[in-house]
Amino acid sequence: MTYPTLDLHVDSIIQQRLFRYNVTRRHRRGLGGQPLFWHADIPRMVEADYLGACLGIHYFPWESERGWREMNRQIDYLDEVIGLDERVFRVAAPGDWQVARERGLLGVAPGVEGAHMLNGKLERVEVLAERRVAYLTLCHFSKNSAATPSMGRGANETDGLSEFGCELIAALDESGITIDLAHVNTPGVLDACAVATRPVFCTHTGVKAVNDHARNITDEEIDAIAETDGVIGIMFAPTFLAGKLRADTTWIADHIEHVIDRVGVRHVAIGSDYDGWLPTIMSDHHDCRDIHLVSDELLRRGHSDEDVARIMAGNAFELLCGARESAASDETGQGAGQSE
């Protein structure tokens, strides 16, 4: 049985900017664990029964006006591709995710990976809203005016959000752009969850309880994200999930199950990081068409059809559609929807 997937983080757009990679054309299947990129494109995502994907927008992770310009160029490319391809639907508002689903099209929207691209200018949040950005990651692999990363340039475990970071969260909440806490250090995650008024994402991560890596999140962070009624996307990176270059899909399931055991199935999703310059992806994955191996493994472990559907698409879909508007629900933190 296949389950439609809503992937919170696919990085194919940056390959177009670097190598003129055409995301509308089908590319060849790579080796198992195929490193770095060539993992996803529109034809292969459609074949894999993707319901939708947030496409990462990137630039070198330090503040500059060039980063702002490059961000806009990448969104321009995304919009041009969508305008020419009948298989996809460019999501312009929360309700458009449902429109794409009803039409049987691949819903896509940009996710800007790093507030450094704002170059310290809060008013640019309005432009992000005009450009129909799904989420903004507070930092990437470098400290910026808003937040400090868990690993990378300026990383530490003492600095929380700056005053600008708190102002940025308020502006994002007001604009309807979801806050993404992937890459952010523990104090920053906890600060963000404390001041956010809407549910937050951690789009692509692992959990420290399964593998203690700087890039992964702690149980305290999992609890805080769940208290906002937020969603945590588990990524497909063996180095982060297992601490080695070769690891199969069972490791993804281990991280998913830890989140379920901690806060319930309502708060976990998929954020593959395909095409994200990972040293390797999972050893039994050649490209995005192998994403069904995740649902297969969850079913093998006894998870219900309803719960697997939530993990593969439902939870991310609810948040992106605006169905979780309050920052806390009565169920959150009590194992809402948890498998028996």
CA nearest neighbour of 266 among 331, 179, 176 = 331
Give the tokens for residue 218: 């702690």
Residue ranges per structural domain of the chain: 5-320
| Residue 7 burial (C-beta neighbours within 10 Å; 0-12, 13-18, 19+) | buried
Q: pLDDT by residue (tens digit) across 290-317?
A: 999 999 999 999 999 999 999 999 999 9
Q: Can you give the pTM of this predicted structure?
A: 0.94
Give residues with Cβ within 8 angstroms of 92, minimum separation 6. 132
The tokens for 192 are 């963000």
pLDDT digits (tens, 9 = 90+) for 215-236: 999 999 999 999 999 999 999 9
Note the pLDDT tens digit of each residue in 247-289: 999 999 999 999 999 999 999 999 999 999 999 999 999 999 9
How do the pLDDT tens digits run along the chain, 340 residues long? 679 999 999 999 988 878 888 899 999 888 899 999 999 999 999 999 999 999 999 999 999 999 999 999 999 999 988 878 999 999 999 999 999 999 999 999 999 999 999 999 999 999 999 999 999 999 999 999 999 999 999 999 999 999 999 999 999 999 999 999 999 999 999 999 999 999 999 999 999 999 999 999 999 999 999 999 999 999 999 999 999 999 999 999 999 999 999 999 999 999 999 999 999 999 999 999 999 999 999 999 999 999 999 999 999 999 999 988 644 444 433 333 333 2
- Both tokens assigned to 135: 């989420």
The domain 5-320 belongs to what CATH superfamily?
Metal-dependent hydrolases (3.20.20.140)
Spatial CA neighbour of 248 closest among 292, 208, 213, 294: 294
> How far, in Å, CA of 207 to CA of 184, rounded?
13
Residue that is written with structure tokens 């309803």 in the block: 306
